[in-house]
Chains A and B, each alone.
Chain A
Amino acid sequence: MEMDGASSSASGGAAQAILLTSRKPRVFYRFTQQNLPACRPALTPTLIITIFLLTGVVFLPVGLVCLRASESVEELVLRYDTECIPEIYRSNKVAYIKDVSISKKCKLNIKLRNYMKAPVYVYYELDNYYQNHRRYIKSRSDQQLLHGLQQKDISSCKSMESSNGLPIVPCGLISWSLFNDTFAFDVKGGKLNVNRTNISWKSDRDHKFSKNVYPFNFQNDSLIGGGKLDPSIPLSEHEDLIVWMRVSALPKFRKLYGVIEEDLDAGELLTVHLANNYNTYNSGGKKKLVLTTSNWLGSKNNFLGLSYIATGGCNILLAILFALIHVKFPRPHYDTSHLQWNKRGSAR
């Protein structure tokens, strides 16, 4: 790093002499004359090796910490979309799920491999479900969620704004397609309590969904998309709706269902009573149930830790490689033989 003075034209020198008298013009002069002091970083081999080594040395331990945090999380995944359909209906799943007369109750058993410390989070995971489709995302009215029926213009909820001539609260495709599978858990000792409050972000609950707006005319049409809402409970307390309406980024996503606030022992047999109501069979989607613990870095995801470790490792390797190149084929800085005009001889 060096400090670059300025150009050295003779006329510039004298002109500067004139302008040096006061400070303000000098700063302005150096700005307009592009003579500002500058540091000129030169990418020397030493600097390159140092930077690679430094990032490597920092990244490896960070990666290890992240990976360890992620590994310490206990996660159980259970796919239930096929298993919860009786054998006779397996060839025609769509007909089964659409037929309201058939009970959708279903019982599955999971054996816990390891001890799970409370709180244990219950997620449902959908795959191939395009919550990020453009027309789907657009179809909501944030003003209606705040002001209810007072909000007259709900044209943004297009295709699901009213039924039977009355507006729908909450309107739009997103709320219409509310996920409505339910899960209940039994252990040997009896029923496990699943706490379904405080599963949404507080900011959504407090500011985006009003305490004074109640569901109205919801799922009253012939075409029912998903879950129904109790019209006597305000929107801000329908936390499953709030969770559902924070749309996911990718077609494969998890959403929080509830929290089990008891420790689960290793080897314990968990019975899941679920109502398989939600239709993902049209689009060939998958439904999974996820039980997981959590720590300061969230739930299980090795990606961050692994990429830290990989980057750190790569950088250290590159540092060594650069050092080898530098030792083997050094290019001294004072060596002018690499200059193009010295290589080819001056052109005519």
Chain B
Amino acid sequence: MILGLCVVRGEMKVILKYSRCLAVCHTVLPEGDGSSDKITYQAASPDEAALVTAAKNFGFFFYRRTPTSIMVREANTEKMGSVHDVTYEILNVLEFNSTRKRQSVVCRCPSGRLILYCKGADTVIYERLAGGNSDIKKITREHLEQFGSSGLRTLCLAYKELSSELYEKWNEKFIQAKSSLRDREKRLDEVAELIENDLVLIGCTAIEDKLQEGVPMCIETLSRAGIKIWVLTGDKMETAINIAYACNLINNAMKQFIISSETDPIREAEDRGDPVEIARVIKDSVKQELDRYLEEAQELLRSPYGPKLSLIIDGKCLMYALDLTLRVSLLKLSLNCSSVVCCRVSPLQKAQVTSLVKKGARKITLSIGDGANDVSMIQAAHVGVGISGLEGMQAVMASDFAIAQFRFLTELLLVHGRWSYLRLCKVITYFFYKNLTFTLTQFWFTFHTGFSGQRYYDDWFQSLYNVIFTALPVIIVGLFDKDVSASISKRYPELYKAGIRNTFFTWKVVAIWAFFSIYQSLIIYYFTTASSRNAHNSSGKIFGLWDVSTMSFTCIVLTVNIRLLMACNSLTRWHHISAWGSILAWFLFIFVYSGIMTPRDRQENEYFVIYVLMSTFYFYFALLLIPIVSLMGDFLYQGIQRLIFPYDYQIVQEIHRHDPEETRRQLLEIGHNLTPDEAASFAVARLPRETSKHTGFAFDSPGFESFFASQAGVFAPHKPWDVVRRASAKSKHRTSKN
């Protein structure tokens, strides 16, 4: 994970200080016995553990921590091959938090010297450096920029020697602050400020935070699906822009609008140090830039072949841009941009931006992140997705969906999300339809009963209609309906746009269902009543109300269940079992119900009715005619709709109608013929998650995949990528889309 280590002027002393700083200034806990290959480090952030591991590799092996000391086994410090344990007495720990952006440790060396080691964000450290030594500052600054632009996360290391009387004086204040009851945090910060100054720069570290496999591909697919992607990251602007380039979010053909706080006027104001003035200056410049860019954006959008736009804004400016007065223009500008990158943002700002889009633009938002700092954003969005990775489980705990890698977002949205949307729409509209159809027949009957409210159907029919006769098929559709297969869903991400436009659940769709349920109820009611006025068999006997209503109900159960099969895009055997089973259930029910008389005093209206009905030819003729006439309207509509106004998914269905579908055999082959890249990511995805928290640097555990395979009873040969670097499983991507 440690990719670059910058030591200015390769002097031995500086290198020692550098490594010692890494080994001492941290809040890591070692676990396991003291041998260097068995130890694991417990750290709040993986970066910290990585830095301590780096120190270990440089010969400063931190192996034990007591409440007041840190023990480091230093190798090769005096001469090559020498190893001796050194105990540093830890006097104070000034902990990291997001406002301080740094962390310090005051320790007493074995020689008795008091030293403060500090590591933190470059901006914070540079503010607190002692004068002089401009060479090292300049070179380190250059390095920082280099590292930043190659997408690495950087930290600066610094130290300061303390005289004992200065320390004693400060320590009193520190203890006071520490034991204060009110505003302890704030006071601690203030006290820390007193000692963390006049630092001497040692160097900087850079940590590569590798993008996960397939992220650029995934992002490109998602943007083809009509999803706009916003990156909200705590990284520096350079890093963020680089990542955005790497993910295809920004490219050189795009017009970039950058709103940064790193401009001269702002820096000048900051130098003067008046917080009120700083705020005013930043706010003014943010307002100016927003207005200017908005104008420019509208001009560019007016020209038909103008470039795509992207907005990059940093946290400090965002703080002012999110102000009530500027919020509207920020939203307007960012909605015109095809990608937005917000860098250096705090967790709170992430949530603010998310709810800005959610409430301001009234779009559906999805937040995805892996770290604890993404939790608020995940909770603010409509849909929260957590990536279970190295940075702990907080994001996963707070999320609605947890996935293992960023790229699985494609699968989650384009396949399962889209299917769910289609299924939900179908289930809701169908429920509406089947109840409307049923109830309307009752409604038409009311007009012929002198408005007395007599029920058309037997009580039990009404009660069981939604419970048995039409219940299961719609559940099956809600579970299994697929318009196109998963692979085609991913191949045509544009299909997802139907969901964004909410094509399948508009008033129009509901109105069409309602129209056809009115039509069907009219057909069913009037056809049964009109055709049943006279005698229906050769013995001249006449039907009564309950015969007619049972006939109607039989037609309804048949019609409604067959209508569901007509609405399905794919019919599994469960569809057939449930739909025809429901119809069968109705007949079984009515055979039993018509055959019994209860001893209770109730109206035995249905007694023998179905047998009377089924003894006539009329029953069979009507049963053939009425459902078919009812469904003819829907069928005609479906035919015309498909022929003349086809939905996208229908065209895609037709394109792939004659494709040899991926059969099960092929699927198995895919499992064995992975490209090395795919195989590696597959193995990463299969790594056990419980142990992942404790490992920091590299994950040297060969044969993981074969281990799993052997557990499942399948032989799998060792593969080169079995040694998987844990680093590649990690992501540093938080995006929010609308």
Q: Mark A residues whose CB is within 8 Å of B.
A: 2-14, 16-18, 20-21, 34, 36-45, 48, 51, 55, 59, 62, 66, 119, 121, 123, 130-138, 140-143, 151, 153, 156, 198-201, 203-204, 207-208, 243, 246-256, 259, 292, 294-301, 303-304, 307-308, 311, 314-315, 318, 322, 325-326, 329, 331, 333-336, 338-341, 346-348
Query: Which B residues are CB-close (under 8 A) to A333?
Result: 651, 654-655, 657
Query: Which B residues are CB-close (under 8 A) to A256?
Result: 535, 540-542
State the CA gap A51–B336 with chains docked (Å). 49
Given A6-B485, A11-B682, do A141 and B541 touch, yes or no (CB 8 Å)?
Answer: no
State the CA gap A4–B569 with chains docked (Å). 11
State the CA gap A335–B568 with chains docked (Å). 23
Do residues A249 and B664 form an inter-chain contact, with CB atoms below 8 A? no
What does the 1/0 interface line of B651-667 toward A look like (CB < 8 Å)?
Answer: 11111011001111011
Do residues B625 and A307 form an inter-chain contact, with CB atoms below 8 A? yes
Do residues A142 and B604 form an inter-chain contact, with CB atoms below 8 A? yes
- B607: which of A10, A138, A203, A243 is its contact (CB, 8 Å)? A203
Interface centre among A2, A10, A203, A346 (most CB of B within 10 A): A10
Interface centre among A138, A303, A314 (most CB of B within 10 A): A303
Given A141-B601, A249-B532, A336-B651, 5 other A-B contacts at CB below 8 A? A4-B482, A13-B669, A38-B570, A142-B604, A199-B541
How far, in Å, is A175 (CB) from chain B's closest CB? 14
Do residues B538 and A296 form an inter-chain contact, with CB atoms below 8 A? yes
Q: Is B415 an interface residue (CB 8 A)?
A: yes
Given A134-B452, A250-B529, do A10 and B671 touch, yes or no (CB 8 Å)?
Answer: yes
- A40: which of B570, B604, B612, B674 is its contact (CB, 8 Å)? B570
Do residues A11 and B625 form an inter-chain contact, with CB atoms below 8 A? no
- B603: which of A38, A41, A140, A243 is its contact (CB, 8 Å)? A140
Do residues B655 and A5 form an inter-chain contact, with CB atoms below 8 A? no
Give the A-B contact count at a CB cut-off of 8 A: 290
State the CA gap A202–B145 with chains docked (Å). 99
Do residues B485 and A4 form an inter-chain contact, with CB atoms below 8 A? yes
State the CA gap A255–B541 with chains docked (Å). 8
- A10: which of B308, B453, B574, B674 is its contact (CB, 8 Å)? B674
Query: Which B residues are CB-close (under 8 A) to A338?
Result: 646, 651
The tally of residues in B whose CB lies under 8 Å from a CB in A reads: 107
The interface stretch among B37-45, B262-270, B631-639 is: B631-639
- A348: which of B301, B608, B618 is its contact (CB, 8 Å)? B301
State the CA gap A208–B536 with chains docked (Å). 22
How far, in Å, is B153 (CB) from chain A's closest CB? 30
Q: Is B643 an interface residue (CB 8 A)?
A: yes
- A294: which of B411, B540, B646 is its contact (CB, 8 Å)? B540
B49-106, CB < 8 A from A:
none
State the CA gap A7–B661 with chains docked (Å). 10
Using CB atoms, name the residue of chain B closest to A47.
Answer: B639
Of the A-B pairs whose beta carbons lie under 8 Å apart in the complex, a sample of 23, sorted by A's number, is A6-B486, A7-B486, A11-B685, A13-B667, A13-B668, A36-B480, A40-B570, A55-B632, A123-B540, A130-B452, A132-B448, A134-B452, A208-B607, A251-B450, A253-B542, A295-B538, A298-B535, A304-B618, A304-B625, A307-B527, A333-B654, A336-B655, A340-B497
Q: Is B361 an interface residue (CB 8 A)?
A: no
Do residues B531 and A341 form an inter-chain contact, with CB atoms below 8 A? no
State the CA gap A223–B571 with chains docked (Å). 64
State the CA gap A260–B301 with chains docked (Å). 90
Do residues A8 and B618 form an inter-chain contact, with CB atoms below 8 A? no
Do residues B545 and A200 form an inter-chain contact, with CB atoms below 8 A? no
Do residues A48 and B639 form an inter-chain contact, with CB atoms below 8 A? yes
Do residues B534 and A299 form an inter-chain contact, with CB atoms below 8 A? yes
Q: Is B284 an interface residue (CB 8 A)?
A: no
Do residues B648 and A341 form an inter-chain contact, with CB atoms below 8 A? yes
Query: Which B residues are CB-close (under 8 A) to A38?
Result: 480, 482, 570-572
State the CA gap A311–B632 with chains docked (Å). 9
- A137: which of B454, B572, B607, B713 is its contact (CB, 8 Å)? B454
Do residues B682 and A10 form an inter-chain contact, with CB atoms below 8 A? yes
Do residues A13 and B671 form an inter-chain contact, with CB atoms below 8 A? yes
State the CA gap A256–B534 with chains docked (Å). 10
Do residues A151 and B601 form an inter-chain contact, with CB atoms below 8 A? yes
Do residues B486 and A294 form an inter-chain contact, with CB atoms below 8 A? no
Given A153-B601, A341-B494, do A8 and B629 touch, yes or no (CB 8 Å)?
Answer: no
- A21: which of B487, B648, B713 is its contact (CB, 8 Å)? B713
Do residues A203 and B572 form an inter-chain contact, with CB atoms below 8 A? no
- B482: which of A34, A134, A137, A208 is its contact (CB, 8 Å)? A34
Do residues B612 and A201 form an inter-chain contact, with CB atoms below 8 A? yes
